């Protein structure tokens, strides 16, 4: 755990969050500032700064499958959803702990801004 990391503190229960589900590898919880009717974040329990630092292929697969599970939990499989991993400054990554956004519940525009 990185002590100053916001999402590590959420994983550790130090900062409250509305959990969707938790496995032995990942936590899914609701984004505090949702940009869609459904906006869930999926994070590994172990700290990695961003997708660029993630070398564990098994964990990468688990993160992606957990994003699908979050979509399933939120009844998005039929209507569709988007999985986004903002990585680095130009992508607008604001929290330095890898996280997948799972967005849905409305028609999403493309391309993103
Ligand atoms: P990004 O900009 O891609 O790094 O996304 C970070 C997301 O984290 C952003 O959508 C807002 C969310 N967020 C920031 N602080 C908190 C918090 O304390 N709790 C929860 N649940 N979400 C947070």
What separation in Å is there between the alpha carbon of 30 and the centre of ligand 1?
9
Does 112 or 51 have the greater pLDDT score?
51
Residue 80's CATH number: 3.30.428.10
Residue in 86, 87, 81, 85 with CA at minimum distance from that of residue 103: 81
> Percentage helix, strand, coil, to 5, in the chain?
25, 20, 50
Residue 1: what pLDDT?
A: 67
pLDDT in tens, 94-111: 999 999 999 999 999 999
Angle at 23 between CA 47 and CA 70, to 5 degrees: 95
Catalytic residues: 99
The helix or strand, by DSSP H or E, that contains position 8, with its residue range, turns out to be helix 6-11
Please indicate, yes or no, if residue 112 is contained in any of the structural domains.
Answer: no
pTM of the model: 0.98
Residue 74 lies in a domain: yes
Residues 58-92: tens digit of each pLDDT = 999 999 999 999 999 999 999 999 999 999 999 99
Distance of CA 99 from the midpoint of ligand 1 (Å): 9
Q: Domain for residue 110, yes or no?
A: no
DSSP character for 88?
S
Report if residue 34 sits inside a domain. yes
61 within a domain of the structure (yes/no): yes
Query: Structurally, how many domains does the chain consist of?
Result: 1
Does position 30 have pLDDT exceeding 90, yes or no? yes
113 in a structural domain: no
Give residue 113's pLDDT. 82
Residue 92's domain comprises 6-104
Tell me if 27 is assigned to some domain.
yes
Domain membership of residue 109 (yes or no) is no
């Amino acid at each position: 755990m990185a002590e100053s990391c916001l999402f590590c503190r959420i994983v550790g229960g130090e900062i409250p969050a509305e959990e969707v589900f938790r496995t032995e590898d990942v936590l899914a919880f609701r984004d505090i500032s949702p940009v869609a009717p459904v906006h869930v974040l999926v994070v590994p329990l172990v700290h990695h700064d961003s997708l660029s630092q993630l070398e564990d292929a098994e964990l990468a697969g688990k993160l992606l499958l957990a994003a699908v599970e979050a979509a399933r939990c939120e009844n998005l499989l039929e209507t569709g959803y988007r999985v986004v991993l903002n990585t680095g400054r130009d992508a607008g990554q604001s929290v330095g702990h890898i996280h997948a956004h799972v967005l849905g519940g409305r028609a999403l525009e493309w391309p993103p801004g």
